[in-house]
Structure 1
């Protein structure tokens, strides 16, 4: 398994991973799968500031991805991010999500971020297990916060420190994919 920064050209593979999740589960609160062009736009917008990483299987195909986004808009939140991970159905349970997350956390900490948050539509034992295996702790639950597939859904929130919170932090740096240092391949 190889990890690298996401490219615009990964949009179709990422859309193929994400579309069945949107269509057939309540894991994502999107109601319609985004197009390949929309995914491409999301990648291009995200990597201007924050990391978006992909995992490649032995054949070189994208089998998972992670990315970070702003936690909130107000300036005092700038050291916190929300994170998401998605793994291709046939690659789940093989450590793909964990490897991606650990690489993402390393990047975020180096940029100066202090806290990561993850919202998980419940129930979702697989996602809860992944997040807790990489150090997330549960915070609480937004009850009946989203309506999808004919039912109200809860979202649990988890938090993971990315490093020490300095007393007088400097603003986080922008991510530069060209400076990526890949962790060892599996």
Structure 2
């Protein structure tokens, strides 16, 4: 039986989530242009990414779970926008859902929790890059007040073709 939106719980990510989070991400690596990674990851290869998102600070990992089964349905992160220190008050945000978990409001729940967790951090802007076409992601970001800044045309090549990436910005 599928979980209803009210049964989804959102919490900070933990090291015990690594395998499930890696599986979710690898689906997008193998099957979609949503990420421009082209080779799947082992959990151990993905561990530094998970550890770079502690429970406090500007770089967070929020995980959505099924309230009954505790299955991980998706995650949202805030990560460094760029490495130079002057960018420290900007983050890049993203959401990934399990392949079967779309169209249930889970992305909305994840972003609500993420932006609530970031509210007291010294942050000024959030940025999101969306490989096009991706209407669901575009709608989600616009729902949270992101505005379109511009599109990098044919910036990435995957599956034998070039993909555009639209960039969005939100004031924090």
Q: Give the TM-score, by structure 2 length.
A: 0.89
Shift of 1:41: 2.2
Give the equivalent residue in structure 2 for 1:165.
none
Give the equivalent residue in structure 1 for 2:3.
none
| Cα distance in structure 2, aligned partners of 1:86 and 1:42 | 14
| Cα distance in structure 2, aligned partners of 1:30 and 1:131 | 22
2:62 equivalent among 53, 71, 74 = 53
1:132 maps to 2:142: yes
CA contact (8 A) 1:9 1:40 kept: no
| Cα distance in structure 1, aligned partners of 2:85 and 2:22 | 32
Give the equivalent residue in structure 1 for 2:28.
21
Give the equivalent residue in structure 2 for 1:154.
164
Per chain length, whose mean CA-contact separation is higher, i.e. which structure has more relative contact order (CA < 8 Å, sep 6+)? 1
| Cα distance in structure 2, aligned partners of 1:89 and 1:60 | 16
The 3-state SS of whatever aligns with 2:115 is helix
Listed one character per residue, the Cα deviations across residues 123-152 of structure 1 (whole Å, up to 9, x for unaligned) are 111111111112111110011111100011
Give the equivalent residue in structure 1 for 2:121.
111
| Cα distance in structure 1, aligned partners of 2:52 and 2:144 | 26
Tell me how large the CA RMSD over aligned residues is: 1.3
2:104 equivalent among 94, 111, 119 = 94
Shift of 1:39: 2.2
The 3-state SS of whatever aligns with 2:163 is strand
Instruction: Structure 2: give runs of 5+ residues left out of the alignment.
Output: 1-7
Residue-pair matches, total = 162
Shift of 1:161: 1.1
Instruction: Structure 1: give runs of 5+ residues left out of the alignment.
Output: 163-186
